Structure 1
Amino acid sequence: MSTGIWILIVIIAAILGAVGGFFMARRTMESYLKKNPPISEDMMRSMMTSMGQKPSQKKLNQMMAQMKAQSNNK
């Protein structure tokens, strides 16, 4: 085969690999963030305490529900 065909094959393989890698990494990150949310109740409790608020369990549950609803809307 001529050199031009080999170059074309390499370019097409690189493009397909980049596109496939992007979508695989995106799916992996989405599943990771779903299993491990970036903010937990303990983190939120300490954040509210540092701001001078006394967090009740009801308020923490409401804030966590709001965060889950917001992440599901995206």
Structure 2
Amino acid sequence: MLEWYWVLILIILALVIGGFIGFLITKKIVKKQLKENPPINEAQIRAMYMSMGRKPSESDIKRTMNAVKKGA
């Protein structure tokens, strides 16, 4: 018969392992979602520059996209 402390150790171990596996799965899903649906795209950056009264060059847009990607 299992002692009570072995049952407690098994429960804690199962919770830790389950939490770690859940974290890895969630991390993978979030990365995939961000890759498929980026939070900002070039058209949105272009619209942002235009709303500030400025016509953006392609280098401005690329520089802003790289800054957004580095921050994420």
TM above 0.5, one fold?
yes
For structure 2, the residue ranges without an aligned partner over 5 or more in a row are: none
Which segments of 5 or more consecutive residues in structure 1 lack a partner in the other structure?
none
Distance of aligned partners of 1:68 and 1:27 in 2 relative to their CA distance in 1, 3 Å threshold: farther
Which whole-Å CA distance do the structure 2 matches of 1:64 and 1:50 have between them?
18
- Provide the rounded CA distance (Å) in 1 between the counterparts of 2:28 and 2:64: 23
The percent of aligned pairs where both chains have the same amino acid is 30
- Which residues in structure 2 correspond to 1:20-35 (within 5 Å)? 20-35=21-36
2:56 counterpart residue number? 55
Q: Which residue of 1 aligns with 2:14?
A: 13
Taking a change above 3 Å as real, the CA distance of residues 49 and 39 of structure 1, as seen in their structure-2 partners, is same
Number of corresponding residues: 70
State TM-score, norm by structure 2. Answer: 0.75
Could you tell me how far apart the structure 1 residues matched to 2:32 and 2:8 are?
A: 36
Q: 1:45 to 1:65 in 2, by over 3 A?
A: same
- What's 1:4 paired with? 5
Q: C-alpha distance in 2, partners of 1:9/1:21? A: 18
Query: Runs of 4 or more off by more than 3 Å in structure 1?
Result: 68-72
